[in-house]
Structure 1
């Protein structure tokens, strides 16, 4: 096989691999964003408020690592210029419950994930929920109840330090 034809084939294979990895990159970025949304102190406070147990409403196969789930996802909240990092937006759920909230990306092929990301972007631009929001009202009620009970016992939600952009040092002094 001539070297130019082989290079073209290798380039096509590399491009194909990159195209297959893009959805995982987008998904990984979304997951990283959600896991870094609250500070570590805030996550610990929310887990304490929730009794260090899964608070997902309804029946499910409870299992997997406990995580702090934002009922209103950060991308969606920011679309409405809402800071998503407030106590009443965070709830402790298990990894299995998270799969119920985001069924469009669980156990899917790269092509299905890529399509899910496109659909999410379209829905986000239309300001429509792009997740399974059927349990949002119940989660919000549970969080409100847990927060009120915890606050009655002296619990407070820690403030998150917001870093000033590097090019705006005057913002850091405010």
Structure 2
């Protein structure tokens, strides 16, 4: 019984690891002037350099349709579906959510819990894919290092990509 407090005390002096890190994401869904507008389905995931999925961070879809009707359209996010989506059971606690209206949406992921908790150190891509009924499909990829290295300037490393149709600005910042 005395072993546990000793282990906890020794863990407190270890340097900060991925558990202390965080990943901040901003996804912009543009307002489109079209005759028939539907909110896009959006998937956000972490991929390894070989483009295999490492972690699912968010999947926004029509979750409140009768008989889980919204799930059948998830396959329209083709890249995400092929890499990881078809293997999942929905809804996914902490990952699934309702579609979002046009605007900027900010998400924060803690390295100590959730989908990033077990992510090994290395170079990754953060990928967002959007598909919209009676609309188009778009995929953006931004590289990032996990866990992030401590910055000498104190500012968080940031990377971004610009969408052209279904997505606007997609930015990623990490904090050690």
- How does the TM-score come out when normalised to structure 1? 0.29
Going by fraction, where is strand more abundant, 1 or 2?
2
- How does the TM-score come out when normalised to structure 2? 0.29
Greater RCO between the two (CA within 8 Å, min separation 6)? Answer: 2
Going by fraction, where is helix more abundant, 1 or 2?
1
Kindly name which structure, 1 or 2, has the bigger radius of gyration based on alpha carbons. Answer: 1
